[in-house]
Amino acid sequence: MRKFNTTGICYPQLHYMVLNEYEADHKAGMDVAEMTQLILDYTFGYPYLVSKLCQLIDSKNLVWNNEGFLEAVKRLLVEENTLFSELFDLMDSYPAMKKIVESLVNGQHISYNCYADGLNIASTFNIISNDNGQAIISNKIFETRFKNYFEFEKSFNFNKSKVSGSGR
């Protein structure tokens, strides 16, 4: 099991308190412990992701349960926002980081080394975490978004070669 990282991003007690206050004020009918666990499982406490998911559930009148949460995740994964734009810009600026992220998304095991080119940048932005000496994508949302991105990129490059005539 992953330990909390040194950046202090994961605050389970704080998330529980905030959701508990929300439930007391709004009587949403949520199981606060379940929602706190879902949020931590999918975001590992990444502040923007936590806030955005809660905002989506609230503003889109989704139910504060597993199904409502997964619907919010689905919506977040397809929306354009500054966080994802900046993450992809970072990968374009740091090809070594992009290669590491793609390798991790594709299931390759990489030892965590904070001095390795690319890994250090990804760690600074909490894209990658150290899990008992292994580099991992920091949360399920990033992992899914990156996986979708690399699958599209791979498909696009394949189709581009067909369009240019080189694949005929």
Cα–Cα distances (Å) from 118 to 7, 34, 122, in that order, read: 18, 35, 6
Tallying the residues shown for the chain, one arrives at 168
Cα(60)–Cα(157) distance, rounded to whole angstroms? 36
Domain 82-164, what architecture?
Orthogonal Bundle (1.10)
Buried b / exposed e across 44-58, counting CB within 10 Å, b at 16+?
bbbeebbebbbebbe
What's the pLDDT band for 8 if we cut at 50, 70, 90?
Answer: very low
Comparing 47 with 20, the larger pLDDT belongs to 47
What's the pLDDT band for 41 if we cut at 50, 70, 90?
Answer: very high
91-136 confidence digits (pLDDT tens): 999 999 999 999 999 999 999 998 999 999 999 999 999 999 999 9
What's the pLDDT band for 3 if we cut at 50, 70, 90?
Answer: very low
> Is residue 160's pLDDT more than 90?
no
pLDDT of residue 11: 58
Q: What is the mean pLDDT of the chain?
A: 86
Global pTM value = 0.84
pLDDT of residue 168: 31
Comparing 63 with 161, the larger pLDDT belongs to 63
pLDDT of residue 158: 53
Nearest Cα to Cα of residue 97 among 84, 87, 83, 106: 87
pLDDT of residue 79: 95
Q: How many helices (H) and strands (E) does the chain have?
A: 8, 2
pLDDT of residue 18: 82
